[in-house]
């Protein structure tokens, strides 16, 4: 069978962040609750000039060449914070980046699972059409509201993945397990900008779905935990993945190895926060860029979770051609260039609007130097 998987991967987030110790102090919480209890050090603050379209366009812009843009025949956009109830975010990105007009472009939704649904659809498409390439985008802005329990688990950003035959990063195996049920742990009705969440219940459902998919995967593919060199998780906050790993790590003869790899897999998520559909893939980037022990051919398990709820466990092997250095350099350059906001500046930005869109507190669009920004709306059209 032809090898198919992630050939290129790119990440983009806001140029602004806050420090979680400062947020804890302002909210009269022990900093240890956010830093250790949730495992978050910093949080991306998304300005009004960035939405899922611009975030994804900025991420994809970093990885695509002209030849890629001509070859891509499918653009799949996974998001749960889309910008239109009708038109897909994929069409906007396709046009902004000059991707072939002969591509099929659409958006998919199942909470934080949408990126994985897109990736697996892309893999199946390439298995049938090995000469083509698919662009998969996973972008979201996680908002729970100021001074809510969810506030410490906000964030945002985008991951862009080019899926192709003979991939140079991760070969995705044709092995996966699913689990789904109609559950109200986290949702966002169309009339709301911030999510509704039953936080502690959502943690329990996440663990339950992880165990369900992990057991099914082991049973169906006759494997055990020590076949895996590392596991990457959907990380709504990084402690969540640690809880999931701890729930099975005693099955391993080398628990320290998996726990050490987990530390590599959460470095960037701890500095960005939740990006819903993109969180698992930011964690994968973090693992790939930061693990000094992962080798070519090593097996990585991936757990994807989307509230509501859908879980999937699947696996991939590190490609022979994979080189972690450029990924690490790019990630560190981007994260270190960000500007730290005070908590007051963050609160103001959180509530600001764009000049062309009206609103009381207006944001200065010239302060965001990202390649793609949203300037506002005119006659209900994005600028
Ligand atoms: N030092 C160290 N740890 C401390 C501490 C201190 N001083 N004080 C508290 N802690 C620990 C607590 O013991 C707890 O750890 P455990 O969960 O391991 O017991 C942790 O810090 C958090 O404390 P609380 O549970 O009291 O925190 P909370 O009630 O204020 O809210 C939350 C936590 C429920 C995760 C909330 O932030 C939330 O609702 N977030 C949004 C929902 C979410 O992310 N759910 C995840 C699963 S759903 C999903 O994955 C989809 C998605 O992306 C949303």
In order along the chain (383 residues), what is the average pLDDT of each group of 10 residues? 96 98 98 98 97 98 98 98 96 98 98 98 98 98 95 98 98 98 95 90 98 98 97 98 98 96 98 98 98 97 98 98 97 97 97 73 87 92 93
Instruction: Give the active site residue among 107, 171, 173, 234.
Output: 234
Q: pLDDT value at position 362?
A: 81
Other C-beta atoms within 10 Å of 352: how many? 16
Reply yes or no on whether 253 is catalytic: no
Buried b (16+ CB within 10 A) or exposed e, 217-244: bbeeeeeebeebbbbbbbbbbbbbbbeb
Q: Report the sign of the C-alpha dihedral through residues 53, 58, 59, 60, in that order.
A: positive
- List phi, psi (to 5°) of 99: -75, 145
Burial of 298 (0-12, 13-18, 19+ CB in 10 A): middle
* Nearest atom within ligand 1 for CA of residue 203: 47
Structure tokens at 74: 């499918």
Distance from the CA of 38 to the center of ligand 1, in angstroms?
Answer: 5
Rounded to whole angstroms, the Cα distance separating 8 from 157 reads 17
CA dihedral 284, 290, 292, 293 (to 10 degrees): -20
Q: pLDDT value at position 217?
A: 98
Q: DSSP character for 141? A: E
**Lining residues, ligand 1, CB within 6 Å:** 30, 32-33, 36-38, 112, 149-150, 152-153, 185-186, 197, 199-200, 202-203, 206, 234, 236-237, 240, 274, 276, 305, 307
Q: pLDDT value at position 359?
A: 57
What residue has token string 């960037």? 268
Rounded to whole angstroms, the Cα distance separating 192 from 309 reads 19
Q: pLDDT value at position 169?
A: 98
Q: pLDDT value at position 360?
A: 56
Rounded to whole angstroms, the Cα distance separating 14 from 154 reads 13
ipTM exceeds 0.90, yes or no:
yes
Distance from the CA of 185 to the center of ligand 1, in angstroms?
Answer: 14
Reply yes or no on whether 112 is catalytic: yes
Instruction: Give the active site residue among 112, 173, 271, 312.
Output: 112
Which SS3 state, helix, strand or coil, does residue 275 take? Answer: coil
Reply yes or no on whether 22 is catalytic: no
Rounded to whole angstroms, the Cα distance separating 127 from 136 reads 15
Distance from the CA of 118 to the center of ligand 1, in angstroms?
Answer: 28
Rounded to whole angstroms, the Cα distance separating 302 from 62 reads 24
């Amino acid at each position: 069978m032809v090898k198919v998987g992630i050939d290129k991967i790119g990440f983009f987030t806001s140029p602004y962040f806050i420090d979680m110790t400062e947020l804890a102090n302002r909210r009269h919480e022990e900093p240890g609750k956010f830093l250790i209890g949730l495992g978050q050090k910093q949080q991306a603050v998304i300005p009004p000039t960035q939405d899922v379209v611009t975030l994804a366009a900025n991420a994809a812009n970093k990885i695509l060449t002209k030849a890629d843009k001509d070859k891509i025949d499918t653009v799949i956009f996974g998001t749960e914070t889309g910008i239109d109830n009708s038109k897909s975010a994929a069409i906007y990105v396709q046009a902004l980046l000059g991707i072939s007009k002969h591509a099929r472009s659409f958006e998919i939704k199942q909470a934080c699972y949408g990126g994985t649904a897109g990736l697996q659809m892309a893999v199946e498409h390439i298995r049938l059409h090995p000469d083509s390439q698919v662009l998969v985008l996973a972008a979201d802005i996680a908002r729970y509201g100021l001074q809510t329990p969810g506030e410490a688990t906000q964030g945002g950003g985008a991951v862009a993945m080019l899926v192709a035959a003979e991939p140079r990063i991760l070969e995705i195996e044709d092995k996966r397990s699913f689990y789904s049920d109609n559950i109200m742990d986290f949702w966002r009705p169309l009339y709301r900008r911030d999510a509704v969440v039953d936080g502690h219940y959502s943690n329990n459902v996440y663990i339950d779905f992880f165990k369900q998919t992990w057991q099914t995967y082991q049973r169906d593919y006759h494997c055990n935990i020590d076949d895996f060199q590392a596991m990457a998780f959907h990380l709504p906050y990084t402690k969540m993945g640690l809880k999931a790993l701890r729930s099975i790590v005693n099955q391993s003869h080398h628990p320290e190895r998996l726990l050490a790899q987990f530390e590599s897999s959460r470095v960037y998520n701890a500095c960005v926060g939740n990006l819903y559909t993109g969180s698992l893939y930011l964690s994968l980037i973090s693992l790939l860029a930061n693990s000094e022990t992962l080798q070519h051919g090593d097996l990585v398990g991936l757990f994807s979770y989307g509230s509501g709820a859908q879980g999937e466990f699947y696996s991939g092997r590190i490609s022979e051609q994979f080189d972690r250095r450029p990924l690490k350099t790019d990630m560190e350059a981007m994260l270190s260039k960000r500007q730290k906001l005070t908590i007051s500046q963050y609160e103001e930005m959180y509530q600001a609007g764009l000049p062309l869109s009206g609103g009381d507190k207006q944001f200065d669009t010239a302060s965001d130097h990202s390649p793609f920004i949203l300037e506002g709306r005119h006659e209900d059209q994005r600028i």
